Amino acid sequence: MVYPHEWLLQSASVFWIFTLLLSESHSKQSQIFYMEAKDCGNKKPLGGAVVYSHSQESGDNYLHDISCQITFQAKDDHWRLMLRVIELDIPDRTPNGYCNDALYVFDDSTSYTVAMKDAGGIGGLCGSILPPTLKSTGRYMTVVFRTGAEGPVGRGFKYIITAFNEDYEKQGTCGSDF
């Protein structure tokens, strides 16, 4: 016969193990990427991620001669992606206002389309003015960071990219996976 306090301890132990397993599986949903060497060039299936222009090992500022492309893919076919730039410091701009160093965002699985208008279009993003939240029309979004061989460099950028379903628009929540 199980005594009430033993049953309570067993139940609490099972609940604790379940909670640990659940929290570990959800913690793997959010990732960190750097728009540098090892994270460039691949498709990244994700639930959510924080992306930086460069790692702290590279110093306080991003480097010259970077050409990095990351394609993000929502894990579910019917989900879309939402990108929010939360820090932006890319000061290399010509006197005519063109970006020498820039961040480009494409609403597609490649960069062979026109960059999103709200993300600076063909000129890309540079300077320090944050764009509005960007939403893909499908399950892919490609982000490219290019810098020139010379000119001023800045602190770079940080953005959050999250997969969401259409219920976000109706209910104001991204879903239970976040």
For residue 23, what pLDDT is reported?
Answer: 41
For residue 15, what pLDDT is reported?
Answer: 44
pTM for the complete prediction?
0.77
| 30-171 topology per CATH | Jelly Rolls (2.60.120)
Of 17-26, 30-39, 111-120, 169-178, minimum mean pLDDT range: 17-26
Is residue 171 packed enough to be buried (19+ CB in 10 Å), middle (13-18) or exposed (0-12)?
Answer: exposed
The mean per-residue pLDDT over the stretch 73-95 comes to: 93
Tokens for 100, please give them: 């020498």
Local confidence band at 95 (pLDDT 50, 70, 90 cut-offs): confident
Rounded to an integer, what distance in angstroms lies between the CA atom of residue 36 and that of residue 79? 27
Tokens for 85, please give them: 């730039």
Tokens for 91, please give them: 């000061």
- Residue 40 clears pLDDT 80, i.e. is over it: yes
- Residue 18 clears pLDDT 60, i.e. is over it: no
Rounded to an integer, what distance in angstroms lies between the CA atom of residue 46 and that of residue 49? 7
Rounded to an integer, what distance in angstroms lies between the CA atom of residue 131 and that of residue 117? 10
Local confidence band at 167 (pLDDT 50, 70, 90 cut-offs): confident
Helix or strand holding residue 173 (H, E): none
The mean per-residue pLDDT over the stretch 115-132 comes to: 94
- Residue 55 clears pLDDT 50, i.e. is over it: yes
Long-range contacts of 32-38 (CB under 8 A, 24+ apart): 33/70, 35/66, 35/68, 35/70, 35/143, 35/145, 36/66, 36/68, 37/68
Rounded to an integer, what distance in angstroms lies between the CA atom of residue 76 and that of residue 93? 38
Output DSSP code: residue 78. Answer: T
Tokens for 40, please give them: 């460039």
